[in-house]
Structure 1
Amino acid sequence: MTDDQTHGPAGADTGLLARDRAHDHTAAVERALAALDLDTKVGLLSGQDMWTLPAVPAIGLRSLVMSDGPVGVRGQDWNAEDPSVALPGPTALAATWDPELARRAGHLLAQEARRKGVHVLLAPTVNLHRSPLGGRHFECYSEDPLLTGVIGAGYVRGVQEGGVGATVKHFVGNDAETERLTVDNRIAPRPLRELYLMPFEHLVENARPWAVMTAYNQVNGSIMTEHRALVQGVLRGEWGFDGCNVSDWTAARDTVRALRGGLDVAMPGPRTVYGAPLAEVVRAGEVAESEVDDAVRRVLLLAARTGCLDGVPAAVDPSAVPQGIDGRAVARDLARRGCVLLRNEPVGGARRALPLDVPGLRRVAVIGAAARDARVLGGGSATVFPEAVVSPLEGLRAALPDGVEVTFAAGAEARTRVPSARDGFTLRARYLAADGQLLAETPQVDGKVQAMGRLPRGVTRQNLHAVELTGSYLPQCGGSHTFAVSGTGELRLTVGGAVLFDGRCAPEGDDPFEAFLNPVERRVTAELTAGERTEVTLRFVPGGPELGEGLGGLYFALGHHLPRPDAEERIEEAVRAAAGADVAIVVVATTEEVESEGFDRRDLRLPGRQDELVTRVAAANPHTVVVVNAGAPVELPWREKVPAVLLSWFPGQEAGAALADVLLGAHEPGGRLPTTWPARLADAPVTTVKPTDGRLAYSEGVFIGYRAWQRFAVAPAYPFGHGLGYTDWEYESLDTTPDSVRVRVRNTGDRQGREVIQIYLAPTADAAPDAPERPDRWLAGFAVVEAGPGESAEAEIPLPDRAFAVWGSASEGSAASGGGAQRSEADDGWRRIKGVYRVEAAHSAEDRRLTAEVTVG
């Protein structure tokens, strides 16, 4: 029998905050606070720039540095000059169902943060997959609050055991991107407590995060940066959160309301609602200086915990910090363990399609542009720049024996934009003042010129007028080359002395982050001669909605792709390659153009002609394996036409190496779906992410994800918790009490395997007559077990009291499940529902293997 990882709500605090140092921290904070005047104090509550808080040498306070996560640590610069390890995306991490893996990821990220001089990581994101259209779901974990909380707690523990603060975000209700700066999400008390607040509560109680980030949006009429009831009343009051509350970037709107609402730090700087404006309202008597002191105490405590305050030891002893972690190895292991095998049928009546029979292979066709150009991240603030990425094509070529011929055909593009200019280009960026003076010049590895927070030395937002991306291009082939320009402002592209584009580009909306992250693209063509070097210059004059005064946000890009056959010829080439191969491996994907911060998805279709590509390749070769690189659900209309479908999410920098491990059988795909996968968008229970008159009603109440699918006649393509391995499991026994469940399973296959035992609770007809409407079943705990062929494994999983409780008053009945309207919560609380429950040990939400009953009094 092997060890297991068992999870209801996670167990005791692992000690990531040294308890014996709490008194020292409190005393040091009070000493430092007593030495500060009002102007210095209010300055500590306002970013001095995009990523840092100011230093105060007089009290031994160093500047505290923050950085975006969650898949890596980008640092203060938005460019590739200081590369970052890029781990698989959060949905891939959640698909492992293993908080110890999340903890390992946290250890690595803390190591990366320390290397880059970062003290606080702005991650993890624990908002829920309310609707599959949410554009940022790749950055969240799951549709289920328990799974989200357990994985998030593992991540936070790992980061903070490395001496770096974790910032749990976005508190609360930031479950979609449409009108995210202003939307008022109307969430009734019960779903707010049972779903959207629950992951935050779990992390506060079980991982003790050092920071929380409040969201842009409103909840029930109050902006989250000013939401006194939820921040002061629930987060700090009920749950006992003692950390620092930082705003999402530019989210703070009002000085007095933000301070009274519990916001400690308004980011970014230098101009925010805090700083000088806060000092003014204190001197005017609108708020007491003692209220400012409370916020400053929490900032100083964060500094003490992260080692930025002299005279007091950090929360984690440097000798106890995990070090020497191999980032590539961790990235590879997480990627393969997060792969979810959705389908694996026999081919021609023989063995199952996966793992591949390597000794029998002579020719393998690798198909899809996403096989050559790995799709490893979503777009937005989660972007990091890895030193190198192993593509699926590279990974398979490296892993297959020398005698196996590997052919490649792009077939169809995943990208809807022209890729950044790179191969054959020699480029530099010249930063210019209005009078033409050269302020700075930097080399460029590709056609993207980008910065957020720091511009090159000598360049400021005030003195910068234009940037010229200039250099030359040496074509390897002649013909009609496509160039693209993108950015928000004036752009002029000159190729070989001819002006090909001269005009303004601007997005339709007014979200400054969308203008930065998803700028308009314009395409032109140029006839070029092979081997003849051509001069290229793209001049950009910024002009559009600002990220904020002094933020230094800059983005524009030159794109390029070679002359190529038309789309139909490319698909036909792929079909021919597949027909002549023993196996066809088709890699399809979304990209940062589809899944990104700043906008929601319009549909769930794969971009371009990728669906057609799969269908035609499958018709040409019955042994077709499809690999799906996507951070969130996509429609798979061809899924019944292929024997194997493997979901690799956004798999990080070691994508191809991990994929080869799984396809060739060196490692089992260990993942299970953390979110339900619909066959069609039209089937999904919740699809509304666009507000009406500024409001978005969560009218579905507690019925999202698998909780909602249970009430629908239409079945999903793949249910919550689904995932196949390379072995089979028999569920042998289930014993339960009102407090815990013990499950024994046996590996009945012929190789080592991994199983995720899922425990669901279901009320029976003998449930209390006054019980409110509840889902048919809900996840109450889970365990990860491993065993060799013929071996058994046993897991004991706690059944927490909360699993039998609902939020509301005893008089509410079924009305408590609804959403939208605000009402008084004076009599509300957690109410244990008595009665008889089925306890189900399951392989997925729809594949329940053993049941027992337990009576709860």
Structure 2
Amino acid sequence: MSDLTHPWQNTSLPPRERAEKLVRAMTLEQKIAQLHGAMETIDIYALAAQATDSETGLEQLAAQIRVERHVTAIDELGIPRFRITNGPVGVGMGDGTPSPPATSLPMTIGLAAGFDPELAYAYGDIIGSETATLGQHVLEGPGVCLHRTTIAGRNFEYFSEDPYLTGVMGVAVTKAIQAHDVIAMGKHYVVNDQEYERFRANVEVDEHVLRELYLLPFEMLVKDAGIGAIMSAYNRIRGVYATEYRHTLTDILRTEWGFEGYVQSDFWSCRSAAPSLNAGMDHEMPDAKWLNETNVKAALNDTSLEIETVDRALVRRYTQMFRFGQFERPYDPGEIDARAHGAVARTIGAQIAVLLKNDSGVLPLRRDAGAIVIIGQSTFVDEACLGGGGSSKVIPLYTVRPLDGMRDVLRELGSSATVTKVTVADDLSNLDEAKNSASAADVVVIMAGLVATEGADQRDANMLNEQNRMIEELLGVNPTTVVVLKDSNPVLMPWIDKAPAVLEVWNQGAEDGHVVADLLFGVVNPSGKVPTSYPRSEADTLYAGHPERYPGTDEGDGYPVIRYSEGLEIGYRWFQAQGITPLFGFGHGLSYTSFDITDVTVHAPDGARAPVTVTASVTNTGPVAGAEVVQVYLGVPVPGQPPKRLVGFQKVFVAPGESKPVQITIDPAATNHPFSVWDYGTQRFAIKAGAYAVYVGNSADNTPHTATITVR
């Protein structure tokens, strides 16, 4: 195939020029065939209903989606079959028969707890590498919606309640994925922060709230990571479907931010032909429900759609394909190095666990602990807790069960301790047996948790199957008892005062058994920090007593309207603004050692008109090596702003007795607009005059070091 015959194959040309040449050579029918995925249209609800139970129905649906995540090739033009795989917690449902297995990684909420962009890059590197190895072109992730509520079904695949932490981690993951010439796709754009009625719900949100919170991580993906694609959400925004909302898809994303990639619909989120394409959506997945020949040709004929708009959509996608060399790369799927990638997953998993409580130094457990019993319900003690319910579920290459992992680690430590397991029935019918085993053991490890899923929010923040009662009754039976939580979301802990030690390890994925044992026995010192606040009770949440905030109310249009009337007060901002003390606040995390943060200075040579430098010294005052996260918050002197916003952080590993310097730069010109607020008059971010408080510490609620920056 010569460059003369097919000039778009000339690799010396810029990607966009190649894309334009290709589109000029296409017939109308070829263009329309490339506007959408190739899956045959199915009724997903009927499919699920055909099954004898919902789990089987979802599996049948997943099987059909797995083998159809692609756009058909056009061989005569050299356009390859465009292969798309889900994410963002690993290589999920992709284009294959069946969808190939991959490394099951910890959930993204856990990754955020690492507070470490290098760790996020390693995570994205695994995902990007495996996507490329499996011959896929696109990874649908990272997800950067915020944890507005603690019960949202997809919080597990989003990062946190804070836009800056979310953005920093999302940028690192994106860069790593795209380093493998795989297109990363930021999702779900935008305010898809709940699963309840996601196909129908309308979100009403003030512009400054949208800009300062919910759009901010997407802005960082575009400007700081050069992300190749964005996925548009299911929900309505201000009465308009997200796939048809020109304000976000064009005015903000392209005109203001300079995004040069393409916008794909979430699966079946496209609701029209001409309105969607005109607004800035470029590609419909997984089928041609709307962007088919009948609809597109009719829209062209009645001039509600112009051919230039169709061309624009294709040029945007092909530009990214040419940018990452995907036209030249043959389909030649290889084999994933499961053990090597699993070792990385084990390292990541151990660094993201959060030691929530550790009275009297119960943890780490002694390596000669004697008789250890693991107790919990099947999901958490019998198999590795993979998590990721819904379309981003990964088929694991292998898994490590809790019992096997603990025995492996004890053997590696040369320990003579023994480990047994009691699986508690979901109805707690054998709880007495578990209590007897706990009484007879030297050490009790209770494993409990929550596995959330796409498509449904939780009813409340309690763990299912009366696990709170199970824990309550087991605590106190044996003084050496540790609670290990394996969660997708923060959970309520009515038993917390009785628990000597609580370790949050999240849904760990394949290496669950090894990671938990590494942490319990001190092979690794936990260093994670809470990425989303744990409320003490449901009554403390922003939506308690406010159905208009969640799950929304019907205001007369026939669909739920969710009003973000709390404004900027979500997460720790909500708790601090309302004077409510959370159970475990944002940034909280203990260690098996102790740290001092001293010698804090704030250098602001020109107020907030130039980069501000925060320096500190971190000293490990305890007996073992560990890591601390220095966190910098800003108090913005503008009415309506919450008490604090995170503007910088740095994780530092320190040996016993060692001190290490930390330097954090807060650049007012950075993409996250650290000093700025949205100005309605100028329709842009602006730094207002006033005294800005700088807070330095190791959590949002523990910032003993303060300074003031005056902006005139």
TM range (shorter): 0.7 to 0.9
Aligned to 1:741: 614
2:403–2:420 Cα contact (<8 Å) kept: no
Equivalent residue number for residue 104 of structure 1: 122
- Equivalent residue number for residue 397 of structure 1: 407
Match of 1:733, SS?
strand
Question: Could you tell me which residue of structure 2 aligns to residue 43 of structure 1?
Answer: 33
2:503 is the counterpart of 1:646: yes
Take 1:262 and 1:169, find their aligned partners in 2: how far apart are those partners? Answer: 15
1:193 corresponds to 2:206: no
Match of 2:345 in 1: 331
Match of 1:755 in 2: 628
When residues 659 and 323 of structure 1 are mapped into structure 2, their CA distance, relative to the original with a 3 A threshold, is closer
Confirm or deny that 1:803 pairs with 2:674: yes
Task: Give, in whole Å, the separation in 2 of the partners of 1:571 and 1:662.
Answer: 26
Q: Distance in 2 between matches of 1:743 and 1:230?
A: 40
Deviation at 1:597, TM superposition (A): 0.9
- Preserved contact between residue 43 and residue 276 of structure 1 (Cα < 8 Å): no
Closer/same/farther in 2, CA of residues 225 and 60 from structure 1, 3 Å limit: same
Aligned to 2:194: 176
Given that 1:668 and 1:753 are in contact with CA atoms closer than 8 Å, whether structure 2 keeps it comes out as: yes
1:151 to 169, 183, 187: 169
Offset at 1:168? 0.2
Q: Deviations over 1:678-701 (max 9, x none)?
A: 111121123543121121111101
Would the alpha carbon gap of residues 308 and 708 (structure 1) be closer, same or farther in structure 2, given more than 3 Å must change?
same
Partner residue, 2:491: 634
Task: Output the CA distance in 1 between the equivalents of 2:513 and 2:221.
Answer: 33
The one-letter amino acid paired with 1:805 is: S
CA distance, structure 2, for counterparts of residue 729 and residue 115 of structure 1: 42
Distance (whole Å) between structure 1 residues aligned to residue 640 and residue 121 of structure 2: 36
Give distance in 1, aligned partners of 2:498 and 2:119: 34
Structure 1 residue 714 corresponds to structure 2 residue 580:
yes
Contact 1:332 1:654 in 2 (8 A): yes
Matched, 1:666 2:656: no
Please give the TM-score of this superposition, normalised by the length of structure 1.
Answer: 0.73
Percent of aligned positions with the same letter in both sequences? 35
Aligned with residue 851 of structure 1, among 692, 700, 706: 706
Match of 1:386 among 380, 385, 396: 396
- The residue aligned with 1:430 is none
Question: Can you give the 5+ residue segments of structure 2 that lack an aligned partner in the other structure?
Answer: 1-10, 40-67, 605-611
After TM superposition, the structure 1 = structure 2 runs for residues 758-837 of structure 1, keeping only pairs within 5 Å, are: 758-763=631-636, 767=637, 771-801=638-668, 802-809=673-680, 827-837=682-692
Out of 366, 369, 373, the residue aligned to residue 365 of structure 1 is 373
What secondary structure is seen at the aligned counterpart in 1 of 2:476? helix
1:535-561 deviation digits (Å, cap 9, x = unpaired): xxxxxxxxxxxxxxxxxxxxxxxxxxx
AA aligned to 1:232 is T
Per the TM alignment, residue 128 of structure 1 is displaced from its structure 2 partner at its CA by 0.5
Q: 1:548 matched to which residue of 2?
A: none
- Corresponding position: 1:680 with 2:541: no
State the partner residue of 1:598.
Answer: 455
Instruction: For 1:522-561, list aligned pairs within 5 A.
Output: none
Larger Rg: 1
Could you report, residue by residue, the CA deviation over 1:419-458 in whole angstroms, capped at 9, with x for unpaired residues? xxxxxxxxxxxxxxxxxxxxxxxxxxxxxxxxxxxxxxxx
Distance 2:136 2:245 in 1: 29
Name the counterpart of 1:342: 356
Q: Is the 8 A contact 2:618 2:660 kept in 1?
A: yes
Aligned residue type for 1:342: L
- Contact conserved, 2:450 with 2:489, CA < 8 A, in 1? no
Deviation of the 1:831 alpha carbon: 1.9
Larger deviation: 773-782 or 834-843?
Answer: 834-843
SS at match of 2:475: helix
Give the aligned residue type for 2:567: G
**Mapped pair 1:690 → 2:700:** no
Q: What do residues 577-635 of structure 1 show as CA deviations (whole Å, max 9, x unaligned)?
A: 111222110000223xxx11111111111111322222222211111100001110111
Q: 1:240 to 1:87 in 2, by over 3 A?
A: same
2-side partners of 1:297 and 1:675: how far apart? 39
Within-5 A mapping of 1:417-496: none
Alignment of 1:230-245 (within 5 A): 230-245=248-263
Residue 175 of structure 1 aligns with an amino acid whose one-letter code is D
User: Which secondary structure does the structure 2 equivalent of 1:803 belong to?
Assistant: coil
User: Which segments of 5 or more consecutive residues in structure 1 lack a partner in the other structure?
Assistant: 1-20, 347-351, 414-565, 811-826
Cα contact 1:412–1:609 (8 A) shared by 2: no
**Partner Cα separation in structure 2 for residue 412 and residue 571 of structure 1:** 8
Asked whether the 8 Å contact 1:622–1:642 carries over to 2, the reply is no
Across the two proteins, how many residue pairs are aligned to each other? Answer: 646
3-state secondary structure, aligned to 2:70: coil
Deviations 1:761-790 (A, max 9, x none): 124xxx4xxx32211111111111111111
Sort the Cα spacing of 1:407 and 1:75 in 2 relative to 1 into closer, same or farther, 3 A. Answer: closer
Question: Which structure dedicates a bigger proportion of its chain to strand?
Answer: 1
2-structure distance, mates of 1:27, 1:125: 30
Q: Distance in 1 between matches of 2:226 and 2:484?
A: 38
| Equivalence for 2:471 | 614
Equivalent position of 1:520 in the other structure:
none
CA distance in 2, matches of 1:795, 1:129: 29
> Residues 772-823 of structure 1, C-alpha deviation per residue, up to 9 Å, x if partnerless?
221111111111111111111122212132211111336xxxxxxxxxxxxx
Structure scoring higher RCO (CA < 8 A, sep ≥ 6) equals 1
Per-residue CA deviation, residues 715-748 of structure 1 (Å, 9 max, x unaligned), is: 1100000001111111111111332211221111
Hey, what does 1:406 align to over in structure 2?
419
Quote the offset at 1:24 in angstroms. 2.3
Matches of 1:632 and 1:243 in 2, distance apart?
A: 32
Q: Report if aligned partners of 1:61, 1:303 keep a CA contact under 8 Å in 2.
A: no
Going from structure 1 to structure 2, the CA distance change for 1:78 and 1:409 (only over 3 Å counts) comes to farther
Is the CA contact (8 Å cut-off) linking 2:32 and 2:291 kept in structure 1? no
What SS does structure 1 have at the residue aligned with 2:578?
A: coil
| RMSD, aligned α-carbons | 2.1
Counterparts in 2 of 1:281 and 1:220: CA distance versus 1, 3 Å: same
Amino acid at match of 2:409: A
Contact 1:80 1:386 in 2 (8 A): no
Equivalence for 1:303: 321
CA contact (8 A) 1:729 1:749 kept: yes
User: Shift in Å at residue 241 of structure 1?
Assistant: 0.5
Is 1:586 aligned to residue 446 of structure 2? yes
Partner of 1:441: none
Equivalence for 2:85: 67
Q: Using the TM superposition, name which of 640-649 and 42-51 deviates more.
A: 42-51
CA distance in 2, matches of 1:836, 1:81: 55
Matching residue's letter, 1:112: E
Matched AA of 1:624:
T
SS at match of 2:82: coil
Partner of 1:252: 270
Report the CA distance shift for 1:191/1:276 in structure 2 as closer, same or farther (over 3 A): same
Query: Contact 1:762–1:837 (CA<8 Å) still a contact in 2?
Result: yes
Q: Does residue 377 of structure 1 match 2:387?
A: yes
* Alignment match, 2:15: 25
Matching of residue 118 in structure 1 with residue 136 in structure 2: yes
Q: Is the 8 A contact 1:136 1:177 kept in 2?
A: yes
Structure 2 distance, partners of 1:80, 1:606, is: 33
Q: Which residue of 2 aligns with 1:725?
A: 591
The 2-side partners of 1:734 and 1:714 are apart by: 28
